[in-house]
Structure 1
Amino acid sequence: MTAVQNNTHQAPSSIQPDGHLEMVIFDCDGVLVDGERLSTNLMAQEARKYGWNISDDEAHALFTGGELAKIRDRIAQESGKTLPDDWDMMLQNRIVRMMKTDAETVDGAEDMLAAVLSLGLPIRIGSNSSLAEMDAKFAATGLDSMLERDRIHSGRDLDMPKPRPDIYLHAAAEEGVEPGNCIVLEDSDAGVEAARRAGMACVLLRDLSKPGPEWPGLLRIGHLSEFQPLLSRILESQKVAA
């Protein structure tokens, strides 16, 4: 499917013909690594253990992209039970162990990363996952050979989780690039909102038949194979305009 673009009036500079696309920032889960369903299934098991009868599908819809501390509070609220203070750390450790053996790449992730790197654009990762979790995921999938660890940023470890914009602003500051000259690849509404608040353009990776947020800085694709051609068209339009 082809990329769908909302009205770009007043969109960030990175996608404007007279603008400057200078960096790409990737989310991790659902964009590079297909581990979100494994994590939310584990959260659903925990919720049911404490008495909240939630299905795996319901948990996936509700917990995807969420902070573990807030998920702990939601389980406590829905179940009427008190969860241990270290529940989120305990679950984080279980997720890391699981990802070391079970993580898989999102379809087309390696080819997409190689294609984006061939454009000469710097890339960074900004995820709500911890660095330990991302280390496990990238090692298990082999993506660690394509990613530099000092360019991987964790909203959990920095205490600045999405939908707050801080993790993306931090990535831009580390690169020395203006936020408006960055573009983010995301799959969750929380991540899209973080990009919007950061003043960055965003590409939402999601089946085009499914609903998504709407704002001038948001583009949409249905498969990772569409991402590098989209970036190429943006760069070419900016070259022509220059």
Structure 2
Amino acid sequence: MTLACGSALSPEGRLRLVIFDCDGVLVDSEAMSCRIVAEAAREAGLDVPDEAAVARFAGRALSSIQTDIEEATGRTLGENWCLTIQDRFVQAFGHGVDLVDGAHAMLDGVIDLGLPVRVGSNSSMAEMDVKFRVTGLYDRLEGRIHSARDMKKPKPDPDVYLYAAALEGVAPAECVVLEDSDTGARAALAAGMTCVLLRPAQEPAPHDDNLIRIETLSEFQPLLENTLFSQKLKTP
């Protein structure tokens, strides 16, 4: 692991806040969301099969997807299209969504280290409220959930991560973001934060001095624990 000197995960740095993306990191709803979007795209005249939905839509803001569909079809979907899709998400999630494998144990492990946690996602607050309630994560995260969509600054804009850090009263360089998408990773890095990317080793990933990769959530808490230990040793 090679990180820039002063990174939140380097011995010379200071780790004070962990920020999680939602979909693909805590909750496994990305495929469901993308299938809903693909269905809406077909309704608008764009032929996107369900099996191509994740590759085309994962990690993207609904506003960007709307522009994509409108440009491809020559149709105007209207100013309420994103809200309509959001309502379809909420209704679907209410019937149940899966957790990413190991999410409960990982989140509890991070909290047990004494680190504050927050969530910064392109999902709306309404969606995350349902997802975290049905998966049993809400009590751990209540009051610490932030929506880039509701802020009207979706990733890769870094504002949702900067907002979370400001509310915690910590500097961006003292934050670690756990992400799974290139879009989210770009947002974290643009915020001046260290990004841990959850992704299988065989899949490509961005390269940056402040980005490292893990393959499973079980690797995340030990990484933070080792960081805190090494930083404590460096403290005069």
The TM-score with structure 1 as length reference comes to 0.94
- Please say if 1:181 is aligned against 2:174: yes
- Alpha-carbon distance between aligned partners in 2 of 1:109 and 1:226, rounded to the nearest angstrom: 11
Query: Which of 57, 64, 71 is residue 63 of structure 1 equivalent to?
Result: 57
Find 2:4's aligned residue among 4, 9, 33: 9
1:81 aligns with 2:75: yes
Paired AA for residue 141 in structure 1? T
Deviations 1:135-185 (A, max 9, x none): 00001111112222x211010111121100100000000000000000000
Identity %, equivalent residues: 51
What does the per-residue CA deviation read over 1:98-141, in whole Å, with 9 as the maximum and x for residues that have no partner?
A: 11112111111001001111100000000011111000000111
Residue 159 (structure 2) aligns with = 166
Contact in 1 for aligned 2:7/2:210 (Cα 8 Å): no
The structural deviation recorded for 1:59 is 2.2
Q: Which stretches of structure 1, 4 residues or longer, exceed 3 Å deviation after superposition?
A: none
Q: Specify every segment of 5 or more residues in structure 1 that has no aligned partner in the other structure, as ranges.
A: none
- Alpha-carbon distance in 2 for matches of 1:83, 1:198: 32
Q: C-alpha displacement at 1:60, in angstroms?
A: 1.0
Whether contact under 8 Å (1:13, 1:20) holds in the other structure is: yes
Aligned to 1:221: 214
Matched, 1:119 2:99: no
The one-letter amino acid paired with 1:218 is: L
Map 1:1-242 → 2, pairs under 5 A: 5=1, 7-10=2-5, 12-148=6-142, 150-242=143-235
2:179 touches 2:197 (CA, 8 Å); kept in 1?
yes
Q: Distance in 2 between matches of 1:74 and 1:41?
A: 16
Q: Which structure has the higher relative contact order (CA within 8 Å, separation 6+)? A: 1
Question: 1: distance between equivalents of 2:223 and 2:215?
Answer: 12
* Gaps in structure 2 of 5+ consecutive residues: none
Shift of 1:85: 2.3
The SS at the match of 2:28 is: coil
The code of the aligned residue for 1:164 comes to: D
Please give the secondary structure, in 2, of the residue aligned with 1:120.
coil
Contact between 1:100 and 1:139, CA under 8 Å: does it hold in 2? no
- Code of the residue aligned with 2:20 in structure 1: it is F
TM-score computed with the length of structure 2 as normaliser: 0.96
Measure, in 2, the Cα distance between the counterparts of 1:132 and 1:207: 30
CA shift, 1:48, in A, is 1.4
The amino acid across from 1:174 in the alignment is L
